Amino acid sequence: MSVFAGAEDPIHGAKTPAVRAETPAVPSRRSRPRLAASALALTAAVGLGVTVGCGSTGPGTARAQARAAKVPTGAAQIVVGRPQSVHPIQAGFLGLSLEFNAIEPYAGTDPRAVNPVLVQLIRNLANGQRPVIRIGGDTTDRTWWPVTGMARPGGVRITLNNQWLGVTRALAQSLDARLTLGVNLETDSRAIAQAEAHAFVSGIGARYVDALEPGNEPELYPSFTWYVAPDGAHVKGRPPSYTIATFTRDFANIERGLPGPIAGPSIGGPGWRRQLGTFLRGPARLNVVTLHRYPLQLCFVNPQKPTYPTIPHLLSPPATSGLAQSIASQVRMAHAHGLPVRIDEMNTISCGYVPKVGNSFATALWAVDALFAMAHVGVDGVNMHSFPGSTCALFSFRRVKGSWQGKVEPEYYGLMLFAQAAPPGSRLLHVSGPGTTVVRTWATRGVDGLTRVMLINEHSGRSERVALPASELGSGAASVERLEAPSLGAQRGIKLGGASFGTATTTGQLRPTATSVTPTQGYYVIDVAPGSAALVTGS
Blockwise average pLDDT, block size 10, the chain, 539 residues: 43 34 35 35 33 36 47 94 96 98 98 98 96 98 97 96 98 98 97 98 98 98 94 95 97 95 97 96 96 94 93 97 98 98 97 93 98 98 96 95 96 98 98 96 97 95 94 91 98 98 97 94 95 97
Q: Can you tell me the distance from the alpha carbon of 93 to that of 371, in angstroms, rounded to the nearest whole number?
A: 9
358 SS3 class: helix
Which stretches within 125-189 are classed as H helix?
162-175
CB atoms within 10 A of CB 15: 10
H or E element at residue 228: strand 225-228
Q: Give the pLDDT confidence score for residue 461 in this predicted structure.
A: 86
Q: Give the pLDDT confidence score for residue 59 in this predicted structure.
A: 41
Q: Can you tell me the distance from the alpha carbon of 102 to that of 136, in angstroms, rounded to the nearest whole number?
A: 10
CB atoms within 10 A of CB 343: 27
Q: Specify the CATH superfamily of domain 94-421.
A: Glycosidases (3.20.20.80)
Q: Give the pLDDT confidence score for residue 1 in this predicted structure.
A: 55
Report residue 39: phi and psi, to 5°.
Answer: -65, -25
State CA 402 to chain mean position distance.
32
Sign for the CA dihedral angle at 386, 392, 398, 403 comes to: negative
Helix, strand, coil in percent for the chain, rounding step 5: 30, 25, 45
Is the pTM here over 0.85, yes or no?
A: yes
Q: Are the beta carbons of 79 and 431 closer than 8 angstroms?
A: yes
Nearest-5° Cα angle at 369, 452 to 362:
120
Instruction: Catalogue the E-assigned strands of 50-139.
Output: 76-77, 79-83, 94-98, 132-135
Query: Domain residues of the chain, as ranges?
Result: 18-29+59-85+427-537, 94-421
Q: Can you tell me the distance from the alpha carbon of 178 to that of 344, in angstroms, rounded to the nearest whole number?
A: 13
Q: Are the beta carbons of 298 and 354 closer than 8 angstroms?
A: yes
What does DSSP assign to residue 117? Answer: H
Question: Bridge partners of 395?
Answer: 408
Decide yes or no: CATH 3.10.290.10 for domain 18-29+59-85+427-537. Answer: no
Q: Give the pLDDT confidence score for residue 27 in this predicted structure.
A: 33
Q: Are the beta carbons of 322 and 9 closer than 8 angstroms?
A: yes
Q: Give the pLDDT confidence score for residue 475 in this predicted structure.
A: 75
